[in-house]
Copies of this chain bind each other. A is one copy, B any other.
C-alpha cells in the first residue's frame, strides 16, 4: 500500500544536486544549498537519498550515466576510430570552455584525495570505463591501419586519460577556449605521425 506520492522527479532532483556539487565541491555544499537548488526540503532529501555522502555518490553515478556516457558513445561510433578520438577531445574542450567548472569526477578525485576510499573507488570506476573505451577505439584504429601496429595501445590510452584530466583542470581554472584547443591539438598530433 502506497502513501503520499512524491511531488518531484528523482532524476531531476539528482541532476540539480549533481550540478551544485559540481560547481561548489562536496565540502562547500551545505544542505541549505541543496534545498535551494533542488527545491526540496531536507527531510525529503534524507528520505529519498540518505545522508550527504549517499546523496553525493548518487549524484556521482548520475554524472557517470549522463555526462560520461556521452564520451563512450562518441568513442564507440562506427567509422574512423582516430577521428572519434578527435571528436571526443574536441567535445571535452568545448564543454570545459563553456561550463568552466571542470569535471565532477576529476574535481572529486582531488577533493576526496586519499581520504575517502568509498568515493574514490566510485570515481576510479567511472573513469576506468572511459579509458577502456579509449583502449577499444585505439585497438580498432590499429586494426584498420590508422595507427601503426607497433602502437602501445594501453600506453596511449593512459596518455589520453591524463590529457583529459589536464584539460578539465584548465577548464576549471577558467582558461580560454583557445588555450584548451591548443592543448588538445598538440595532444592529438601524437596520433598523426603514424597515419602519414
Contacts and interface: CB of A to CB of B under 8 A. Distances in A.
Most B Cβ at <10 Å: residue of A162, A164, A182: A162
B169 A183 contact: no
Contact of A167 (B110, B115, B162, B187): B162
Interface string A103-117: 000110111011100
A127 to B, nearest CB: 8
A172 B101 contact: no
A120 interface: yes
Interface residues of A, number: 45
- How often does this chain occur in the complex, in copies? 2
A95 interface: no
Given A27-B28, A162-B169, A168-B169, 10 more contacts: A23-B113, A24-B115, A106-B169, A120-B174, A155-B185, A158-B183, A162-B166, A165-B169, A166-B166, A166-B167
Nearest to A156: B186
Contact of A110 (B110, B156, B158, B162): B110
Contacts of A114: 23, 100-101, 172, 174
A25 B169 contact: no
B101 A173 contact: no
B165 A170 contact: yes
Interface string A154-196: 0110110111111111101110000100110111011001000
Nearest to A166: B166
A81 interface: no
B174 A159 contact: no
